[in-house]
C-alpha cells in the first residue's frame, strides 16, 4: 500500500493569479449598472470611492480566507493505492474509494492531472498534477488500467462560456426593461443557477464548507426571480 500527497509549492502565487478577476469583476459590474441606470449623468469620482474600497476589501478578505482554506484542503489530500483499492481522502470532503477490479477508466488530462472512474458510479477520484511522485503514480495507474488521453476541449470551452453567458443574462435581467428579453434571460439564468447548485451539491470532490456556503447563491437566485417577476408584471415598460 502506498500513500501520496500534494506538493503545495507555488500554490499562493497561482491562487492569486486566478483570483484577480474576482476582485475586478464586481467593481466593473457595479460601475456599469450604476452608469446605465443613471442615464449617463455626471457623478463625482468620490461617489465611487467608498463602494470600490468596500468591495475591494471584502474581496481581499475573501481571497485571504480562500487561500487558507484551499491550502488546508491541499495539505490534507491523501491518495492511497493498494493491490485491491484506490482511495482519496481530504479534509471536509467525502472519501472516495474504488476497487481496483472495478476501475473502468483512467484518464490523463491536458494539464497533466488524472481522473479515475469506477463501475459503481460512486464518485470520480481526481489526482491533480501537483501530486508528489508523479511519474511513479502514472506507472502504477498504467498497471491498473490503460490510461487514455482526454483533450476536454468542449469542457474547457464551457468553463469559459458558461460564466460569461451567466454574466450576460444577469445584466439583461437587471439593466433591460423589454419583457421578452427579461423573461427569457431570467428563465435561462434561473435554470443555469439551479443546475450549477445541484452539480455542486452532488460533487464528492467539493468540500462541505463550500457546499454549505451555497445558501448565498440562493439569495442571489431569489433576487433574480423577484426582479424578473416585477419587470414582467409591471403595467408599462419604457
What domain count does the chain have? 1
Degrees (nearest 5) of the Cα angle 127, 130, 131? 55
The three grid cell numbers given for residue 17, joined into one nine-digit string? 493569479
Asked, for residue 78, whether it belongs to a domain, the answer is no
CA-based torsion, 140, 93, 22, 182: positive or negative: positive
Q: pLDDT of 69-123, one tens digit each?
A: 888 888 899 999 998 999 999 988 889 999 999 999 999 988 889 999 988 877 8
Domain boundaries, position 197:
152-238
pLDDT in tens, 184-209: 999 999 999 999 899 888 888 888 88
Residue 225 lies in a domain: yes
Residue 47 lies in a domain: no
Task: Look at residue 15 and tell me if it is in a domain.
Answer: no
- The model's pTM: 0.72
Cβ contact 95:89 at 8 Å: yes
The span from the CA of 117 to the CA of 205, in Å, is 13
Assess if residue 60 is contained within a domain. no
Q: How far is CA 164 from CA 159, 189, 222, in A?
A: 9, 11, 20
> What would the pLDDT profile of 32-55 be if each residue is shown by its tens digit?
666 665 555 555 566 566 666 777
Amino acid at each position: 500500500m502506498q500513500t501520496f500527497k500534494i506538493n503545495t509549492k507555488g500554490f499562493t502565487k497561482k491562487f492569486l493569479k486566478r483570483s484577480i478577476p474576482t476582485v475586478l469583476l464586481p467593481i466593473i459590474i457595479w460601475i456599469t449598472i450604476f452608469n446605465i441606470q443613471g442615464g449617463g449623468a455626471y457623478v463625482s469620482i468620490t461617489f465611487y470611492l467608498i463602494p470600490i474600497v468596500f468591495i475591494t476589501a471584502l474581496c481581499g478578505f475573501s481571497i485571504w480566507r480562500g487561500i487558507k482554506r484551499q491550502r488546508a484542503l491541499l495539505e490534507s489530500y491523501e491518495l492511497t493505492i493498494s493491490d485491491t483499492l484506490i482511495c482519496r481522502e481530504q479534509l471536509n470532503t467525502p472519501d472516495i474509494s474504488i476497487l481496483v477490479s472495478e476501475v473502468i477508466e483512467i484518464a490523463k488530462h491536458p494539464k497533466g492531472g488524472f481522473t479515475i472512474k469506477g463501475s459503481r458510479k460512486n464518485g470520480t477520484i481526481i489526482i491533480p498534477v501537483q501530486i508528489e511522485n508523479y511519474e511513479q503514480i502514472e506507472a502504477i495507474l498504467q498497471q491498473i488500467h490503460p490510461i487514455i488521453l482526454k483533450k476536454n476541449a468542449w469542457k474547457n470551452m464551457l468553463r469559459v462560456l458558461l460564466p460569461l453567458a451567466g454574466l450576460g443574462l444577469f445584466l439583461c435581467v437587471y439593466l433591460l426593461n423589454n419583457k421578452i428579453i427579461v423573461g427569457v434571460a431570467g428563465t435561462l439564468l434561473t435554470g443555469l443557477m439551479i443546475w450549477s447548485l445541484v452539480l455542486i451539491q452532488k460533487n464528492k470532490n467539493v468540500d462541505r464548507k463550500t457546499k454549505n456556503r451555497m445558501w448565498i447563491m440562493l439569495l442571489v437566485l431569489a433576487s433574480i426571480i423577484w426582479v424578473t417577476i416585477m419587470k414582467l408584471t409591471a403595467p408599462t415598460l419604457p
